[in-house]
């Protein structure tokens, strides 16, 4: 009997322990699950953390008021601007074309200033007429960067250009040397009143003042294009029986002038010289002796430099020069280095520039911005 009672107590004790053990396990499970869920959430947060730390690059909106795309130089100029915009990757460009009309360009600029832009880039059709744009931009706290052609005020945030006074002076000095200081010269200008043309003439005048035997017997605008170079030269040939040399404001004009001179049968008596003979057929003419073998280039990649300046100014940099000018140096080309500038895989009216663009930036750009 005593054994039976002991056995019963043992059985009851075992069942009690089993009941206690099984009743405790469900209470522990939620705590364990909570720990596991918390660990999983922390792991997800750790994985997500780098994505939260990534900051999207800010995009800037830039208005570009262009004087025109009326000749191959300016078409290529715009394509290089687009190239640099794409390369930088964070600029949205809103472009307008004034078609050399200063009134239209003023209206274009006024409209661009309403577009919530971060900067205004302008290549003025005519320097003085577009000067008020600078004040309008600054009234809206918008920086204004001028490219290629000067504007009639020094209050811009930057002016990116090639000094065309150098071009005019060097080309006229070359003619003075070749003709021993005496020649009857026809000058086919670009557009009177446009910044590059004003500067070219200033440079030419520095030389003409020293050589009284150099005479400008005729001067007329040919609008930096081949067609006007042809028609203007045809008229001058009829009016001028003696011409020693025709100096053209760019290579486009020279192509038209050459056609007129050859058609008149006067190619043996008249030489042709060209500033900025940068398009492929002009450089080939220089190499082959069709035009005089020297030119100074208003480098076409100045537009790409201007986009870099716009980008830098938006981000707080400024030009290092006190007058806020960023100089894209002129290139001197003669028979010794002309092949470096010719890419005969291009069309005759195309311009080669990519092979020298980055090298020129590396040499001259960075020291001009701070």
Give tens-digit pLDDT for 209-226.
Answer: 999 999 999 999 999 999
pLDDT band at 15 (very low <50, low <70, confident <90, very high): very low
In a shared domain, residues 175 and 93: no
In a shared domain, residues 279 and 177: yes
Asked whether residue 25 is assigned to any structural domain, the reply reads no
The reported pLDDT for the residue numbered 355 is 82
Based on its alpha-carbon atoms, the radius of gyration of the chain, rounded to whole angstroms, reads: 36
First to last CA, the chain: 107
Asked whether residue 156 is assigned to any structural domain, the reply reads yes
Hey, what are 246's tokens?
A: 């025709």
What percentage of the chain's residues is helix, strand, coil (to nearest 5)?
50, 20, 30
Lowest mean pLDDT among 38-52, 171-185, 191-205, 253-267: 38-52
In the Cβ-directed half-sphere of 112, how many Cα atoms lie within 13 Å? 32
Asked whether residue 105 is assigned to any structural domain, the reply reads yes
Tell whether the model's pLDDT for residue 96 goes beyond 90.
yes
Q: Give the integer Cα–Cα distance in Å for 294 and 333.
A: 6
In a shared domain, residues 144 and 191: no
Q: Residue range 18-35: average pLDDT? A: 41
What is the CB neighbour count within 10 angstroms for residue 94?
14
pLDDT in tens, 112-152: 999 999 999 999 999 999 999 999 999 999 999 999 999 99
Tell me the residue range of the domain where 170 lies. 164-297
In a shared domain, residues 253 and 267: yes
Tell whether the model's pLDDT for residue 14 goes beyond 80.
no
Q: At what angle do helices 302-314 and 72-88 cross, to 10 degrees?
A: 40
In a shared domain, residues 168 and 292: yes
Q: Higher confidence at residue 340 or residue 25?
A: 340
Tell whether the model's pLDDT for residue 11 goes beyond 90.
no
Tell whether the model's pLDDT for residue 263 goes beyond 90.
yes
The reported pLDDT for the residue numbered 55 is 52
Asked whether residue 271 is assigned to any structural domain, the reply reads yes
Asked whether residue 18 is assigned to any structural domain, the reply reads no
pLDDT in tens, 315-353: 999 999 999 999 999 999 999 999 999 998 999 999 988
pLDDT in tens, 223-249: 999 999 999 999 999 999 999 999 999
In a shared domain, residues 272 and 197: yes
Tell whether the model's pLDDT for residue 362 goes beyond 90.
no
Q: Residue range 272-279: average pLDDT? A: 96
In a shared domain, residues 268 and 312: no
Mean pLDDT of the chain: 88
In a shared domain, residues 254 and 290: yes
Task: Give the total residue count for the chain.
Answer: 370
Q: Residue range 86-109: average pLDDT? A: 97
Hey, what are 332's tokens?
A: 């001197």
Tell whether the model's pLDDT for residue 22 goes beyond 60.
no
pLDDT band at 30 (very low <50, low <70, confident <90, very high): very low
Asked whether residue 324 is assigned to any structural domain, the reply reads yes
In a shared domain, residues 154 and 169: no
Asked whether residue 336 is assigned to any structural domain, the reply reads no
The reported pLDDT for the residue numbered 2 is 35
In a shared domain, residues 289 and 179: yes
Total domain count, the chain: 2
In a shared domain, residues 183 and 259: yes
DSSP state of 130: G
Q: Give the integer Cα–Cα distance in Å for 282 and 290.
A: 9
pLDDT band at 56 (very low <50, low <70, confident <90, very high): low
- pLDDT above 70 covers a percentage of the chain that reads 85
Q: Residue range 76-88: average pLDDT? A: 96
Q: Give the integer Cα–Cα distance in Å for 76 and 288.
A: 24
Tell whether the model's pLDDT for residue 251 goes beyond 50.
yes
Question: What's the CATH number where 182 sits?
Answer: 3.40.50.2300
The reported pLDDT for the residue numbered 18 is 34
* Backbone angles phi and psi of 28, in degrees to 5: -80, -30
Asked whether residue 182 is assigned to any structural domain, the reply reads yes
Please tell me whether the overall predicted TM-score, pTM, comes out greater than 0.85 for this model. no
In a shared domain, residues 134 and 177: no
């Amino acid at each position: 009997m005593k054994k039976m009672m002991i056995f019963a107590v043992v059985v009851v004790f075992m069942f009690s322990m089993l009941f206690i053990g099984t009743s405790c396990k469900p209470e522990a499970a939620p705590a364990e699950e909570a720990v596991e869920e918390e660990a999983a959430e922390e792991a997800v947060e750790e994985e997500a953390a780098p994505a939260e730390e990534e900051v999207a690059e800010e995009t800037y909106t830039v208005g570009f008021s262009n004087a025109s795309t009326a000749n191959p130089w300016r078409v290529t100029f715009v394509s290089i601007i687009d190239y640099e915009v794409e390369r930088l990757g964070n600029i949205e460009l809103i472009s307008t074309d004034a078609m050399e009309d200063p009134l239209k360009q003023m209206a274009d600029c006024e409209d661009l200033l309403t577009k919530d832009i971060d900067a205004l880039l302008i290549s003025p059709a005519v320097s003085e007429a577009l000067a008020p744009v600078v004040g309008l931009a600054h009234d809206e706290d918008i920086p204004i960067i001028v490219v290629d052609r000067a504007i009639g005020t020094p209050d811009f945030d930057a002016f990116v250009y090639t000094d065309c006074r150098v071009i005019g002076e060097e080309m006229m000095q070359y003619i003075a040397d070749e003709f021993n200081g005496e020649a009857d010269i026809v000058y086919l200008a670009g557009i009177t009143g446009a910044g590059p043309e004003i500067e070219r003439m200033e440079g030419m005048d520095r030389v003409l003042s020293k050589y009284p035997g150099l005479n400008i017997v005729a001067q007329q605008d040919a609008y930096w294009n081949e067609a006007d170079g042809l028609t203007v030269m045809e008229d001058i040939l009829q009016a001028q029986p003696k011409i020693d040399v025709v100096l053209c404001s760019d290579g486009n004009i020279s192509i038209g002038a050459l056609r007129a001179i050859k058609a008149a049968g006067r190619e043996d008596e008249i030489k042709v010289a060209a500033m900025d003979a940068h398009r492929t057929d002009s450089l080939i003419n220089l190499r082959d002796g069709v035009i005089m073998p020297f030119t100074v280039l208003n480098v076409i990649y100045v537009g790409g430099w201007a986009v870099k300046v716009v980008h830098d100014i938006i981000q707080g940099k400024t030009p290092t020069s006190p007058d806020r000018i960023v100089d894209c140096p002129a290139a001197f080309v003669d028979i010794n280095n002309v092949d470096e500038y010719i890419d005969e895989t291009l069309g005759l009216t195309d311009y080669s520039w990519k092979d020298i663009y980055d090298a020129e930036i590396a040499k001259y750009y960075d020291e001009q911005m701070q």
